[in-house]
Amino acid sequence: MVEKLAVKKNNKITCNIAFTRYEIVKHVAEKIFGWKLSPDEEDEKWDILWTDSAVPPEKLSKMQPYQKINHFPGMYSISRKNYLAMNLGKLKKKFPNDYNFFPKSWLYPCDLGDLKLFMQKKKNCYLIVKPEASCQGRGIFLTKKLENIDPTGRFVVQEYLTKPYLIDNLKFDLRIYVLVAGCDPLRIFVHYDGLTRFATEEYSKPSLNNFEDMCMHLTNYAVNKNNPNFIHNENPEDDDSGHKRSLQSTYDYLSDQGFDVDKIKKQIDDAIIKTLCSIQPTLAHHYKSCQPDDTANTMCFEVLGFDVILDCKARPYILEVNHTPSFTTDSPLDWKIKKRVIRDALILMNITSRERKAYLKKQKELILKRALTGKVEKDTKEEREIKTQILKAKRDKWEQGHLGGFRKIYPSENLETYEKYINYANTMYQEWTGGNTSKTKKLTLEEEKLPRKVQSVKDVKDSKDLKKPIQLKHKEEDSLRLRCSSIPVLISPTDRKKLNSNSVFDRLSKPTIKKYRSSRGTVFPPIIYYEDKQPMSIKQLYPTARLINGYIDSRTIYDRNTTLKQMTPKVFQFMFDKNNDGQ
């Protein structure tokens, strides 16, 4: 039984209707709620704004905390056909058994290769081709050949469901009205009533004779309303006749046919939640970026229209999501159902003038404190969390007593079931936007701060014993390198084999210099390569070289090697000026 709510009129609320063309929205705001209507596009002193188009982030960022608007920035991620297919496809790859509630979809021409492979496996398969950004059935057609698709266009191609469930031998789809009342966390409600839209020609499987008949294969009202066979519903109480019927009458029909309607509703609810989980990180990012100080999660709400089709076994599939569902009222049934949806959604959002008064009072107090103390007070993280929990508890209590025709489907008892989808969607979103880079750095820093594992005395001794042979082997070499960082190191042909034989130095004439980072400073000691057959020591090459404090004077080597003078005079001169003692 649907709860009938009493609405208190409040003429202190201002509703801006400058950007909507629907008379039913104006009627609900003025006649049912008693709000003032503002048709001025430049007016910014409103409590709620209703618009028929998407809201850019800039609009939300300029709003005051008490104001509300009927769209979320970023909802295009499921309202556009190409983004819906892309976002659902990403999660289907990760959860193939959970995300199987929409037809197989491809983005054309991006997924042309995969589409060709599919067509080779299913040769008699029909495809339904939709322009990626169209609505009301414009530009949609059926085909069996990829050659019929415009190669310069951009489309969403889906496998056509050839065995839909039929009522009166007509194909139909369900328009489900969904209210998204918050994005972080998600708050999702489904209205008990909606619309069932029928095709106007009796259905038969697509063939060469009928695949161009859109009044048979499409259920869009805009496509079928001009067909002579279309029957308008003139009586709102007689909601189970004509080509547009109430959702509740369709559920009653399915129940009479022996189907478990509660199971069908649960499957639809599950598909709706999973669809919105796929874009929750996008919605939350846009919302937090525009209103970082908001703790109520109430500045945006949105009434979505989910188009759902049933197959021959009454299994639901989501076809589209409309972020601006049509609120035209061409029949009394339209007026009755759509008025309920808009009224119940506005009641749930609890729009009052108290929020504006409290905000303006708080702003005056902050201005006075700033004038007296010269400081700007900000809430701490703990205070913000406490405020969030208090506001959430108040909101839960309000929603529980003012659901009207809505029922809450998320958050629900099986909250953990859907958390994994949101977490994976967040991971994909971070990778797409590059947010994982900073996150990885943060995790690395946190790991470095963690205390090291305490080892036993025996483990430390064992590790030292293992390192001893290596340390003894390279002790002399390492100490010599540390003490003589600026002296050229001569590498014989035997040692040279240990280096990369395909190095570019093999093609250069002798001597060749490679620079290594010095352990003593910024000086890079050169390494000289000789191609003599026999390895030669420094004394054999330079018998007259002077020894200073036990080390070879590198200036002597430099003076006798004219090639080095030509190649790196600046490097050597810098070393000699820095280390004039020969070191």
* pLDDT 10s digits, 259-293: 999 999 999 999 999 999 999 999 999 999 999 98
Same domain, 44 and 180: no
Predicted local confidence at residue 447, as pLDDT:
53
- Residue that is written with structure tokens 């994994």 in the block: 420
Pairing between β-strand 14-19 and β-strand 36-38 as defined by DSSP bridges: parallel
As a whole number, mean pLDDT of residues 392-407 equals: 93
Q: Is 258 left (phi over 0), alpha (psi -120 to 50) or beta?
A: left
Count the neighbouring beta carbons within 10 Å of the beta carbon of residue 471: 10
- Is residue 216 over pLDDT 70? yes
* 59 assigned to some structural domain: no
Q: Which span out of 166-180, 225-239, 567-581 was modeled with the highest average pLDDT?
A: 166-180
Same domain, 201 and 341: yes
d(CA 126, CA 205): 10
**Count of domains in the chain?**
2
Exposed, middle or buried, 411 (CB in 10 Å: 0-12/13-18/19+)? middle
Q: Give CA 102 to chain center in angstroms.
A: 19
Same domain, 26 and 92: no
For 138, 357, 391, 565, the CA distances from 361, given in Å and listed in that order, are: 51, 6, 19, 80
Nearest to 564 by CA among 512, 518, 509, 504: 512
Same domain, 226 and 96: yes
Question: What three-state secondary structure class fits 236?
Answer: coil
pLDDT band at residue 580 under the 50/70/90 scheme: very low
- Is residue 575 over pLDDT 70? no
* pLDDT 10s digits, 303-327: 999 999 999 999 999 999 999 999 9
Exposed, middle or buried, 435 (CB in 10 Å: 0-12/13-18/19+)? middle
Exposed, middle or buried, 359 (CB in 10 Å: 0-12/13-18/19+)? middle
d(CA 217, CA 170): 9
Q: Check: CB of residue 490 under 8 Å from CB of residue 530.
A: yes
Predicted local confidence at residue 551, as pLDDT:
44
Range of the structural domain that residue 39 is part of: 1-52
Same domain, 35 and 83: no
Crossing angle, helix 280-290 and helix 415-433, to 10 degrees?
Answer: 70
User: Domain holding 408: CATH number?
Assistant: 3.30.470.20
* 270 assigned to some structural domain: yes
Pairing between β-strand 14-19 and β-strand 48-51 as defined by DSSP bridges: parallel
Q: Check: CB of residue 108 under 8 Å from CB of residue 129.
A: yes
- Structure token digits, residue 387: 């405020």
Predicted local confidence at residue 236, as pLDDT:
83
Exposed, middle or buried, 482 (CB in 10 Å: 0-12/13-18/19+)? exposed
Annotate 146-171 with three-state secondary structure: HHHCCCCCCEEEEECCCCECEECCEE
Q: Give CA 318 to chain center in angstroms.
A: 20
Count the neighbouring beta carbons within 10 Å of the beta carbon of residue 59: 15
* 571 assigned to some structural domain: no
* 194 assigned to some structural domain: yes
Same domain, 33 and 180: no
- Structure token digits, residue 69: 């608007």
Q: Which residues of 109-146 are buried (b: 16+ CB within 10 A; e: fewer)?
A: bebeeebeebeeeeeeebbbbbbbeebeeeebbbbbeb
- Is residue 252 over pLDDT 90? yes
Predicted local confidence at residue 470, as pLDDT:
52
* 425 assigned to some structural domain: yes
For 16, 20, 34, 38, 335, the CA distances from 26, given in Å and listed in that order, are: 9, 9, 10, 10, 13
Predicted local confidence at residue 10, as pLDDT:
75
* pLDDT 10s digits, 115-163: 999 998 887 889 999 988 777 778 899 999 899 998 888 999 999 999 9
Same domain, 86 and 23: no
Same domain, 244 and 302: yes
Q: Which residues of 158-184 are buried (b: 16+ CB within 10 A; e: fewer)?
A: bebbeebbebeebbbbbbbbbbbbbbe
Predicted local confidence at residue 438, as pLDDT:
58
* pLDDT 10s digits, 327-363: 999 899 999 999 999 999 999 999 998 989 988 898 8
Same domain, 238 and 290: yes
* pLDDT 10s digits, 480-536: 444 444 444 444 444 444 444 444 445 444 444 444 444 444 444 444 444 444 444
* Continuous H helices in 349-414: 354-373, 381-401
Residues 6+ apart with CB under 8 A from 538: 490, 545, 552, 557
d(CA 161, CA 125): 10
Same domain, 194 and 334: yes
d(CA 38, CA 283): 28
* 169 assigned to some structural domain: yes
Same domain, 343 and 199: yes
* pLDDT 10s digits, 36-85: 999 998 888 999 999 999 999 999 999 999 999 999 999 999 999 999 99
As a whole number, mean pLDDT of residues 87-113 equals: 93
Same domain, 173 and 45: no
d(CA 115, CA 184): 36
* pLDDT 10s digits, 427-482: 999 888 776 655 555 555 555 555 555 555 556 556 555 555 555 555 555 554 44
